[in-house]
């Protein structure tokens, strides 16, 4: 079960999504993702290394 917690009225965090991309604007305390939605690609991924977060935005 995914747990969503309201930090304030405009910010939500999913405690199920952890991210090591420390230079992403969505990465917050304890390496948790604060993005409103997350998209992971690509459609041609055959292995974990082939995937990437298209939600990533550089700080």
pLDDT, tens only, 47-56: 888 888 889 9
pLDDT in tens, 11-51: 665 557 888 999 999 999 888 888 888 888 888 888 888 88
Name which of 51, 49, 53 is nearest 39 in CA terms. 53
Cis peptide before 40 (omega within 30 of 0): no
Half-sphere exposure of 13 (CA within 13 A, CB side): 14
pTM for the full predicted model: 0.63
Q: What is the pLDDT of residue 10?
A: 62
H/E stretch holding 14: strand 11-14
Q: What is the pLDDT of residue 8?
A: 58
Residue 3: what pLDDT? 47
């Amino acid at each position: 079960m995914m747990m969503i917690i309201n930090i304030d009225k405009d910010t939500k965090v999913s405690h199920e999504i952890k991210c090591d991309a420390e230079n992403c604007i969505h990465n917050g305390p304890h390496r948790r993702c604060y993005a409103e939605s997350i998209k992971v690609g690509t459609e041609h991924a055959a292995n974990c290394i082939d995937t990437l977060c298209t939600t990533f935005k550089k700080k």
